[in-house]
Structure 1
Amino acid sequence: MLIEVRGTRLYVDQRGSESAPALLFLHGGPGSGSYDFLSFQGDRLAEHFHVIGVDQRGVQQSDPLTGPVNELDLIADFEALRETLGRERWSILGHSFGGRLALRYAVAHPDAVTKVVFENPAWDVLLNSETLVRAAQRIAPDIQLPPHDGPATKQMWDERIALLHQLGERRMEVYLGPDSQDLVLPADTEIADELHARSGKFSEEIMKTPEFLESLQPLLAQLTQPALLIKGEYDPATSPEEIARFQSDVPDGTYYFAKGSGHFVHAEAADAYTELVTAFLN
């Protein structure tokens, strides 16, 4: 259903009993939408929680963007959605880019968040982009990481991501474990091209903002909620430096290494993922 918040309508997919503890899912991308995650985990997690998946403003089944957008807009949207739905508190689960948003939201609204789950988060695009290029080198050893000094810049990001496009049809191999190479993401075939185009515009807008380039690692020490970090063995996004920072800085943090999985642990090891998340949140 479409729910109006802050001058736009967000597509919200709710599953499970409304009397169950609420769990908000924040998708990655930027611009991936919630369709894929909910296809793999929505009904599974809904046996234990009231699952709320939201397409971020301008993404897929939400209203198209009519102006600029940044990460702070998205955080304000989530909080407005919580109030609209009448939820006093909820847990949040962020995948990839959604892990950035989950961290921002949990720190900005600590009283609204009970627990946080991060799945292969992208907290520092300088580190994330380097890790992505290193993963691409496993497939194409001739790819070279462009030199860069100082903080992340839009030019740096564009140059590094362009290297992944050189992989062509093999790009998806970077994101998957060796036993998951035949994984198909449902949104690729089940979401209309027009809705994918909305996501493309959102991605372009968000990635040119200073908030996207900001390292969020310093926020980890400000987390007051119990937090779970899930890292796929073959995930190319979350860097070793970010994992170490989580383990050292998060007061009540739990680290889980998902052996054999890549970037989409929720799909590559769906049963184990449901059990892990359910046990942590309960």
Structure 2
Amino acid sequence: MLIEVRGTRLYVDERGSADGPALLFLHGGPGSGSYDFLSFQGGRLAKHFHLIGVDQRGVQQSDPLTGPVNELDLVADFEALRETLGLASWSILGHSFGGRLALRYAIMHPTAVTRVIFENPAWDLLLNTETLIRAAQRIAPALQLPPHEGPATTQMLNDRFRLMHQLGDRRMEVYLGPDTQDLELPADTEIPDELHARSGQFSEAIMKTPEFLESLLPLLAQITQPALLIKGAYDPVTSPEEIARFQADVPKGTYYFAKNSAHFVHAEAADAYTELVTSFLS
């Protein structure tokens, strides 16, 4: 359904008992939408939680963008959605780019968030894209990481993402483990091209903002809730440095290493993922 929030309408998919513990899923991308995650985990997690998937402002089944957007806008949207749904609090689960939003939300609205889960988060784009290119070199050894000094910049990101585009049809191999190369993401074929175009516009808009370029590693120490970091063994996004900071800085942090998965643990090891999330949130 579409729910009016802060001047736009967000597509919200609610599953499970309304009396169950509330869990908000924050998708990655930027612009991936919640469709894929719910395809793999919606039915599983809805047995235990009041699961809420939301397409972020301007993404897929939500209304298209009509103006600028940044990460703080998205966090404000989530908080307004919680109030609209009449929920006192909820746990949040952020995948990839959604891990940035989950971190910002957890520290900006600590009383609204009971627990937080990060799946292969992208907290520092400088580190994330370096890790990504290193992973891509396993497929295309000729790829060379462009030299860069200082914090992340839009030009740096563009240069590194252009390298990834050189992989062509093999790009998805980087995000999957050796035993899950045949995984298909249903949104690729089941979401209309028009809605994918919205996601592209969102991604282009948000990647130019200062908030997107900001390293969020200093924020980890401000997490007060119990937090779980899920890292796929073959994931090409979350860097060793980010894992180390999480383990050192988050007082109530738990680290889980998914040894047979890559970037999409929720799909590559779906049953184990459901059990892990359910156990942590219970």
TM (normalized to structure 1)?
1.00
The number of residue pairs the alignment matches comes to 282
- CA deviations 1:182-214 (Å, max 9, x no partner) are 000000000000000000000000000000000
- 1:175 is aligned to 2:175: yes
The offset of 1:67, in angstroms, is: 0.6
Deviations for 1:2-45, whole angstroms, at most 9, x for unmatched residues? 00000000000000000000000000000000000000001100
Backbone CA RMSD of aligned residues = 0.3
Kindly provide the amino acid, as one letter, of the partner of residue 101 in structure 2: L
| Structure 2 counterpart SS, 1:254 | strand
Taking the aligned partners of 1:277 and 1:96, their CA distance within structure 2 comes to 16
C-alpha deviations, 1:81-139, integer Å up to 9, x for none?
Answer: 00000000000000000000000000000000000000000000000010000000000
Give the AA of the match of 1:193: D
Distance 1:140 1:175 in 2: 14
CA distance in 2, matches of 1:177, 1:269: 11
SS at match of 1:155: helix
- Tell me the equivalent position of 2:34: 34
Distance 1:42 1:93 in 2: 13
Q: Which runs of 4+ in 1 moved over 6 A?
A: none
Matched, 1:200 2:177: no
For 1:81-92, list aligned pairs within 5 A: 81-92=81-92
2:119 is aligned to 119
Aligned pair 1:138/2:129, yes or no?
Answer: no
How far apart are the structure 1 equivalents of 2:249 and 2:158?
Answer: 30
3-state SS of 1:110 partner: coil
Identify unmatched segments of 5+ residues in structure 1.
none
Separation of aligned partners in 1, 2:22 and 2:83: 13
Task: Identify unmatched segments of 5+ residues in structure 2.
Answer: none
Deviation digits for residues 130-157 of structure 1, max 9, x if unmatched?
Answer: 0000000000000000000000000000
Q: Deviations over 1:153-192 (max 9, x none)?
A: 0000010011010000000000000010000000000000
Letter of the 1:177 partner, please give it: G
Paired residue type of 1:207: M
One-letter code aligned to 2:241: E
How much does 1:260 deviate?
1.3
Q: Give the equivalent residue in structure 1 for 2:78.
A: 78
Instruction: Give the alignment of 1:146-165 within 5 angstroms.
Output: 146-165=146-165
Structure 2: how far apart are the matches of 1:43 and 1:80? 26
TM (norm. structure 2) is: 1.00
1:196-235 correspondence runs (5 A): 196-235=196-235
Q: Which secondary structure state, in structure 2, belongs to the residue aligned with residue 183 of structure 1? A: coil
The SS at the match of 1:111 is coil
SS in 2 for 1:163: helix
What residue number does 1:104 align with? 104
Following superposition, the deviation at residue 242 of structure 1 comes to 0.1
Identity of matched residues, %: 84
Question: Per the alignment, in what secondary structure is the counterpart of residue 103 of structure 2?
Answer: helix
| Aligned residue type for 1:105 | Y
Q: Deviations over 1:204-255 (max 9, x none)?
A: 0000000000000000000000000000000000000000000000000000
- The SS at the match of 1:123 is coil
